[in-house]
Amino acid sequence: MAKLKPSKGAPHARIKGVGGYRPTRVVPNEVILETIDSSDEWIRSRSGIATRHWASPEETVAAMSVEAAGKAIADAGITPQQIGGVIVSTVSHFKQTPAVATEIADRIGAVKPAAFDISAGCAGFGYALTLAKGMVVDGSAEYVLVIGVERLSELTDLEDRATAFLFGDGAGAVVVGPASEPHIGPTVWGSEGDKSDTIKQTVPWTDYRDGTVEKFPAITQEGQAVFRWAVFEMAKVAQQALDAAGITADDLDVFIPHQANMRIIDSMAKTLKLPEHVTVARDVETTGNTSAASIPLAMERLLATGQAKSGDTALVIGFGAGLVYAATVVTLP
């Protein structure tokens, strides 16, 4: 049996830079109330959301990604030509093929990188980050660009009282590169496919194409079931990620959960018994639920506003449609 040559990757990986892009249009709850029977007070009390961003026709998945990627690459202090991989997590790029990652790679000036899309819903950033870490450590790429991007306004049923107010658009990106010490902990990830109907697309694209339904497909969810699962089960996953990294909640500086709902975020922080010194990301208030983009967008905002600083230890966890989840501990760039 032939003996394979060992890989020449870095001993470890870390997030080197972060960038975000939010569409220019800010949509307050009052706009949502034009199509559903509700109130600003009810929306805020149920979700914590006051505003969200919706993309214009020009702010495509690719365009928003390019903006976020450029900021992340500059923040990492590298050039686009050093990017050896581009991973994009999205559920709202409506071309089945080719992967939007290939277009983004070309537009940022990367030179023949590996480029592909993944679909893991609101856990997509964690999935992509884990893949990027593996590529850097394996040696197949020195730097990998990870992007979470969504135009969920395209998949929102504005007449659905349970979901019309939840979703926003945007892109968040990070650059993952080599490190001499561990800065991205082991990932605790998985799926519970028996609960896949709790968050789903209403009907397949083919039903709309064939005229079986007249209404364009949208995202729907069973709110109470999702809330219970996220609060109780994902708090356990978050604790497992802390254990895997060999730290406790006391060692954390920052907690960045998927920005699904303020009540979920606050309940998870309480269940984890996070100390008062831990900064908790609450970007959902002004950005809404941006699925795969929510964690890097929240990370970028915390750093930009000084609520978190370079070198802080952060617990990140994403969870959503599938139902899928991914949690890990990282050092902030």
Q: Are 41 and 62 in contact (CB under 8 A)?
A: no
Please identify which residue in the block is written with the tokens 């561990």: 182
Identify whether 93 is a catalytic site residue: no
Catalytic residue among 29, 53, 258, 261: 258
Identify whether 258 is a catalytic site residue: yes
* Cα 176 from Cα 14, distance rounded (Å): 6
Q: How far is CA 191 from CA 144, 186, 196, 250, 322, in A?
A: 25, 17, 9, 28, 7
Catalytic residue among 53, 93, 122, 261: 122
Identify whether 53 is a catalytic site residue: no
Nearest Cα residue to 314 out of 10, 11, 15, 12 = 15
Nearest Cα residue to 14 out of 103, 77, 97, 88 = 77
Collapsing DSSP to helix, strand or coil, 85 comes out as: strand
Q: Which residues contact 274 (CB under 8 A, 6 or more apart)?
A: 249, 252, 255, 280
Q: Are 294 and 283 in contact (CB under 8 A)?
A: yes
Collapsing DSSP to helix, strand or coil, 115 comes out as: strand
- Catalytic residue annotation: 122, 258, 289
